[in-house]
Amino acid sequence: MHKFEIYKDKKGESRFRFRAGNGEIMFSSEGYKSKASAVKAIDSIKKNAPEAAVDDMSATPKAAAAPKAKASAKPKAAPKAKTAAKSKSPVKAKTASKTKAAAAPA
């Protein structure tokens, strides 16, 4: 017969697992600071599980799956854009001001 088992883990937190009729562990929970919280989680599963939807993620093409980022990868900083006002080159500043004048409504 299938059943929920509540137990204490190595950290002293309360956890539970669900065993199938053949004794196989089907799933186990996260750690809870109190036994009462673990019992509430079990009650929630009992109440809501019959209505739980099944989301078949195996049918999703691999190409559509988001690529996994490497844990050690650092995000690349975006290059800083230079504006005409901050540019030290008079040619760039002059070109930028002509572009702004041309784009301004008449």
pLDDT at 51 (0 to 100): 84
pLDDT beyond 90 at 98: no
Residue 75 in domain = no
In the structure, what pLDDT confidence band is assigned to residue 87 with cuts at 50, 70 and 90?
very low
pLDDT at 34 (0 to 100): 97
- Computed over every residue of the chain, the mean pLDDT equals 77
Residue 71 in domain = no
Picking from 11, 10, 9, the residue whose alpha carbon sits closest to that of residue 29 is: 9
Domain of residue 18: give its range.
Answer: 3-51
Residue 29 in domain = yes
Residue 25 in domain = yes
Residue 18 in domain = yes
Residue 22 in domain = yes
Question: Is 25 within 8 Å of 18 (Cβ atoms)?
Answer: yes
Residue 19 in domain = yes
Residue 43 in domain = yes
- For residue range 4-48, list pLDDT tens digits in order: 999 999 999 999 999 999 999 999 999 999 999 999 999 999 999
pLDDT at 38 (0 to 100): 97
Distance separating alpha carbons of residues 105 and 57, to the nearest angstrom: 53
Question: Is 6 within 8 Å of 14 (Cβ atoms)?
Answer: yes
Number of domains in the chain: 1
Domain at 14, CATH number: 3.30.160.160
End-to-end CA distance of the chain: 83
pLDDT at 23 (0 to 100): 96
pLDDT beyond 70 at 105: no
